[in-house]
Amino acid sequence: MTKPSNKISFERTYDAPVEDVWDLWTTAEGIESWWGPEGFSVRVGKLDLRPGGELHYAMTATAPEQAEFMKRAGMPLTQQVRLTFTEVAPRRRLAFTTLADFVPGVAPYSVATLVELFPEGRGVRMVLTHDAMHDEVWTQRARMGWESQLGKLAQTVALR
């Protein structure tokens, strides 16, 4: 299979200071509070927030439906994930790559993500751009995963 060259993007506006949204993306406590789709929990093992630095985390399927999906797909319930930061511009831009090495039968490949924050009045507009996956099915799964994660992020921002 050939990896599509297109990207998927998401835009959200939060009624919160840019510093709050930035902290949720860039601190272990913040990441653990919302990262991962519904039905998954995340534990940060390492966070080195600088270009070339890494974030290591374990993402575990905790809800029965997600655990069953992982089993059917031949994937472990806990994924060990490592991403590498490629750009860190405080309260403006965060870019990173992740190795997609979790798809059974597909050779690992790099996936880039860019998060841009734009202060607007008392709030912040966030634009997230993510590489498409190796095929349309997995790209749709990535889209659904980000939609779920960003929903959790919105809930977390609202509670601050």
Residue ranges covered by each domain of the chain? 7-159
Kindly report the pTM of this predicted structure: 0.89
- Chain centre distance of CA 138: 15
3-state helix, strand, coil in the chain (%, to 5): 30, 40, 30
Quick one: pLDDT band at residue 38, thresholds 50, 70, 90? confident
What tens digit of pLDDT does each residue of 76-97 get?
889 899 999 999 999 999 999 9
Query: Superfamily assignment of 7-159 in CATH?
Result: START domain (3.30.530.20)
CA–CA distance from 141 to each of 40, 46, 88, 106, 134 (Å)? Answer: 14, 26, 27, 15, 11
Under DSSP, the state recorded for 62 is: -
Q: Where are the alpha helices (DSSP H) in the chain?
A: 18-26, 28-34, 64-72, 136-159
Report which residue type is found at 66: Q
pLDDT above 90: residue 3: no
Cα gap 130→23, rounded to integer Å: 20
